[in-house]
Amino acid sequence: MDRAAPTIANFLNPALSSCTVGYIEEVLEFTDHVEGGFYAVVHEILESPFWHSQNFLDNPYKPLCLVLAKEIDALSISKAEPAYHSRQHLKDVCLMLSCLLMQDQCFSSGQAPENPWESSRKENWLLLLAAIGHDFCHPGLINKAPFEIEKNSLALLEVFFNHVQIDGNLKKSIFTRLSPWIMATDPAAYPALLTKFINQEASHEDCLAMLLVEADLIASVLPVKGQQLGARLGEEWRIANPSRAESVKSSRGRIKFLENLRFMSPHATALRVEQIRLNSISALANLKFRD
């Protein structure tokens, strides 16, 4: 059978999706050009077969995902987006999180009932909401203090949700779950989180945080898309931190970045993300640092 066309509906259809590295690259490229902004991409994600399978009666999270995506589009009109931490990045993270969660069929059935990686439908929706909002109002800078930007995003998200008709207890429960996951996306927090998994000390909440972090990183390890994203990040840091901007665009800098990552989830294992990471390192090493 021919490979399914690189659309969101096909990509997030467990019966059709072919999650090879080439297909993932094609889908991310295709969705860069979807008309209607970030809201349109999120809407298509939510209408995909996978997210239809996750829906439930009186689900409060689906409308929140859409209203937040619409707000992010509105903010992009009033303020220029950073080169990297833009709606395109949020789109990548939402797609890759969805693709990761779709892999749970590869390990959940027949496993021990206390598998810390298993997530409920409610938790999957909360993770998607976190993916949409994790870089809310990102300034395009680097943290000067631990979690500085992540805390600011959470504070502004809370202000936004105060203006949305939402039950107070629901809002409190959402922020209780989302806050540590979003804080975990601070790159400086990654080594400590990774160490928990290496030492087999990770909790269920750590697993959910790692799923968001992995979704945040997968596009950056792809062979073509990853180099494009490195160039965007370099452009974002060009004025504020020119030395780091040059490093992140270079082969040496990219290899160092890739070497410091590990993809720990069984979801990422099902997608063979570790092999993609290692292949990207090998391809760059073969260039012999020509840049």
Inside any domain, residue 235 = yes
**Per-residue confidence in pLDDT tens, the chain, 291 aa:** 457 788 999 999 998 767 889 999 999 999 998 889 999 999 999 999 999 999 999 999 999 999 999 999 999 999 999 999 999 999 999 999 999 999 986 655 445 557 899 999 999 999 999 999 999 999 999 999 999 999 999 999 999 999 998 898 999 999 999 999 999 999 999 999 999 999 999 999 999 999 999 999 999 999 999 999 999 999 999 998 999 999 999 999 999 999 999 999 999 999 999 999 999 999 998 875 454
Contact between 145 and 230 under an 8 Å Cβ cutoff? The reply is no
Q: What angle do CA 96, 100, 101 make, to 5 degrees?
A: 120
Q: How much is the pLDDT for 113?
A: 58
Name residue, tokens 């452009």: 235
Closest CA to 170 of 46, 61, 57: 61
- Under DSSP, is residue 234 helix (H, G, I), strand (E, B) or coil? helix
Contact between 219 and 92 under an 8 Å Cβ cutoff? The reply is yes
Closest CA to 98 of 266, 261, 267, 225: 267
Identify the domain containing residue 217 by its residue range: 8-285
Inside any domain, residue 290 = no
Domains of the chain: total = 1
Contact between 119 and 144 under an 8 Å Cβ cutoff? The reply is no
Contact between 94 and 45 under an 8 Å Cβ cutoff? The reply is yes
| CATH number of the domain that residue 277 is part of | 1.10.1300.10
Contact between 171 and 142 under an 8 Å Cβ cutoff? The reply is no
- Under DSSP, is residue 37 helix (H, G, I), strand (E, B) or coil? helix
Closest CA to 268 of 29, 114, 133, 97: 97
Inside any domain, residue 247 = yes
Q: What type of residue is 166?
A: I
DSSP 17: -
Closest CA to 216 of 158, 134, 110: 134
Inside any domain, residue 291 = no
Distance CA 174, CA 154 (A): 11
Q: How much is the pLDDT for 1?
A: 41
Inside any domain, residue 1 = no
Q: How much is the pLDDT for 114?
A: 78
Q: How much is the pLDDT for 19?
A: 80
Compute how many other C-beta atoms are within 10 angstroms of the C-beta atom of residue 97: 25
Q: What is the value of pTM for the model shown? A: 0.95
Distance of alpha carbon 208 from the chain centroid = 12
Inside any domain, residue 3 = no
Angle of helix 204-221 versus helix 168-183 axis, rounded to 10: 60
For residue 45, give both structure tokens. Answer: 């994600």
The DSSP element (H or E) to which 73 belongs, if any, is helix 61-78
Q: How much is the pLDDT for 103?
A: 93
Inside any domain, residue 225 = yes
